[in-house]
Amino acid sequence: MSTLKSAPSGKPAAGGKNAKPFTLGDRPLIWIDGQLYPARDAKVSVYDHGLLYGDGCFEGIRVYQGRIFKAQAHMRRIFRNAERLRLDMPWTGDEVIAVMRQCIEANGLTDGYIRLLFTRGAGTLGLDPRKCPRPSMIVIADQIALYPPELYRDGMRVVIARRPRTPTACLDPSLKSLNYLNNIMAKMEAIDAGCLEAIMLSVDGYVGECTGDNLFIVKGGEVFTSPLEVGMLDGITRAFVMQTLAPACGVKLSEKRLKPDDVLKADEIFLTGSAAEIIAVTQVNDTVISKGEGPVTRRLREKFRAVVTGPHVPED
């Protein structure tokens, strides 16, 4: 594995919950194929197939108290996706985690966000992946604020996108690839409607996920979410809610195929994601779901915050 070279001189910017995203300058220091570069100098080849064709995969990963939240789960997912793309990775999961830790230290982060990318690497202008001799890896350790703080207090409005999710038979949404145009086009529908998120349906009308988050509903005190086979990302935070938080909070949670009517008649709705964490939805289209964050959502969110601010942030 290529190792990190010495970082440029200068004191790293401090991280933490009040830290602001770095500007494009000396910070953050970004790792590309074995070397750290200041943000202004961090570049990839215009012949990289990740840029030319979206040929690659990525992870969004949270850092809490200097620990990489669910690091092993993220490694399992990105290496599974790299294998599906037939990327011949020159790094192991442990080596990638070691690079992420060095980026956290180099940038002085305590709480933050990591964007990890595997690309096909530089090749030719043709599609043939065999013309790209070596994959590339990029690690960006920075800050992220997906939604304004007031939405975590008051809840958010979303719309149901007219654009459906790409069918699994065409491009499985569980493959977190660099091609996000399907999500972006639905995101534009949300922006046009004056909000920040849109619910995406499968081509046969089932509720899948949002453009960047998984979706849960609460009905009669029980939590439901669509199964992965509807066509969506197997979210790391989604799994943490299902396997850890819900049982810890005594909340019954199950999977079932949801229709838009189930969402519109829900008592509560919340979204999950590495960047979003847990956030309530209080209105869908013109239908008001709840006045502020509901009690089940609040219990799960508070438990999540207790875990990630506590002494044992899970990395497995």
- Please, where in the chain does CATH 3.30.470.10 lie? 29-142
Sign of CA dihedral 113, 118, 122, 128: negative
**Alpha carbon distance 120, 123 (integer Å):** 8
pLDDT at 2: 41
User: How much is the pTM?
Assistant: 0.92
pLDDT at 23: 59
pLDDT at 7: 38
Q: Is 66 exposed, middle or buried (0-12, 13-18, 19+ CB in 10 A)?
A: middle
Torsion angle of alpha carbons 225, 228, 229, 231, nearest 10°?
A: 100
User: Which DSSP state fits 215?
Assistant: E
Token pair of 179, please? 């091609």
Pair type for strands 277-284 and 156-160: parallel
- Please, where in the chain does CATH 3.20.10.10 lie? 149-308
- Produce one character per residue of 122-138: b if its CB has 16 or more CB atoms within 10 Å, e if not: bbeeeeebeebeebbbb
pLDDT at 12: 34
Element (H, E) at 154: helix 149-154
SS3 116: strand
- The CA distances from residue 314 to 31, 173, 212, 237, 311, in Å, are 24, 26, 23, 12, 9
Amino acid at 136: S
**CATH number of the domain located at residue range(s) 149-308 in this protein:** 3.20.10.10
- The CA distances from residue 130 to 88, 124, 269, 298, in Å, are 11, 10, 45, 50
Instruction: State the number of CA atoms in the 13 A half-sphere of 75 facing the CB.
Output: 18
Torsion angle of alpha carbons 124, 130, 134, 136, nearest 10°?
A: 70
User: Which DSSP state fits 131?
Assistant: G
**CATH number of the domain located at residue range(s) 29-142 in this protein:** 3.30.470.10
Pair type for strands 268-273 and 222-225: unpaired
| Phi/psi at 272 (5° precision) | -135, 150
Q: Is the omega angle on the peptide bond into residue 28 within 30 degrees of 0, that is, cis?
A: yes
Q: pLDDT tens track of the chain, all 316 residues? A: 444 443 333 333 334 444 555 556 788 999 999 999 999 999 999 999 999 999 999 999 999 999 999 999 999 999 999 999 999 999 999 999 999 999 999 999 999 999 999 999 999 999 999 999 999 999 999 999 999 999 999 999 999 999 999 999 999 999 999 999 999 999 999 999 999 999 999 999 999 999 999 999 999 999 999 999 999 999 999 999 999 999 999 999 999 999 999 999 999 999 999 999 999 999 999 999 999 999 999 999 999 999 999 999 999 9
**Alpha carbon distance 54, 41 (integer Å):** 22
- Produce one character per residue of 179-190: b if its CB has 16 or more CB atoms within 10 Å, e if not: beebbeebbebb
